[in-house]
Amino acid sequence: MGFTLSIGDTAPDFNLPGTDGDTYSLDSFRHAKVLVIFFASNVCPYVRGSEDITRRTAEQFTEQGAAFVAINSNSASTNPDDSFDKMVERMEEKKFPWAYLHDADQQTALAYGALRTPHFFVFDEQRRLVYTGRGVDNPKEISEIKENNLQEALGAVINGKPVSTPLTNPIGCNVKWEGKDKDWMPAEACDLV
């Protein structure tokens, strides 16, 4: 068993506060044909560099029945700019087209096996994992993007087709784990592919 969810695994449930004041679980998104859960950060340059393309992908596929959920699991002790208050400020500023949830105890990040920010998990209507990994191949420099793996995966799932590349390595900053060095990763969290 690896650290990260495997293709075909069922989405773990969660119960997390959102920046809008509501609390969310998997059931909050039960009507979505496809559910995209991704682990994010307020400050990671890979998240910030690719957030416009993630926004465009979210807007495109939300119209087709997908739901998008960003989860910030980073330790605010390691980076105070990833605190819940700063998440609220960032959402107010950017008005992202997704729910932005706070995983203060990092249990959701552990359940999913989040390695980096951003790290995407795409689940089908039965909430089975059909894609995990990066959103795009160059999240820091969107002008250099050659592949939008998230968009390709969503296009396949929405059209009832298998995802041609269901597994890629996420590209981004390490998740900042409470009480650990900022570059620490679990020993079993080797590359996905």
What are the residue ranges spanned by the domains of the chain?
9-174
Strands 66-72, 34-39: pairing is: parallel
Amino acid residing at 71: I
For residue 162, give the 3-state DSSP assignment: coil
CATH of 9-174, one of 3.30.70.270, 3.30.2290.10, 3.40.50.300, 3.40.30.10: 3.40.30.10
pLDDT of residue 1: 46
pLDDT of residue 183: 80
Per residue of the chain (193 residues), give pLDDT as tens. 478 999 999 999 999 999 999 999 999 999 999 999 999 999 999 999 999 999 999 999 999 999 999 999 999 999 999 999 999 999 999 999 999 999 999 999 999 999 999 999 999 999 999 999 999 999 998 889 999 999 999 999 999 999 999 999 999 999 999 988 888 887 776 555 4
Please, which residues have CB within 8 angstroms of residue 118's CB and are 6 or more apart in sequence?
38, 39, 40, 44, 46, 47, 50, 54, 134, 135, 139, 170, 172
In contact, 46 and 33? CB cutoff 8 Å: no
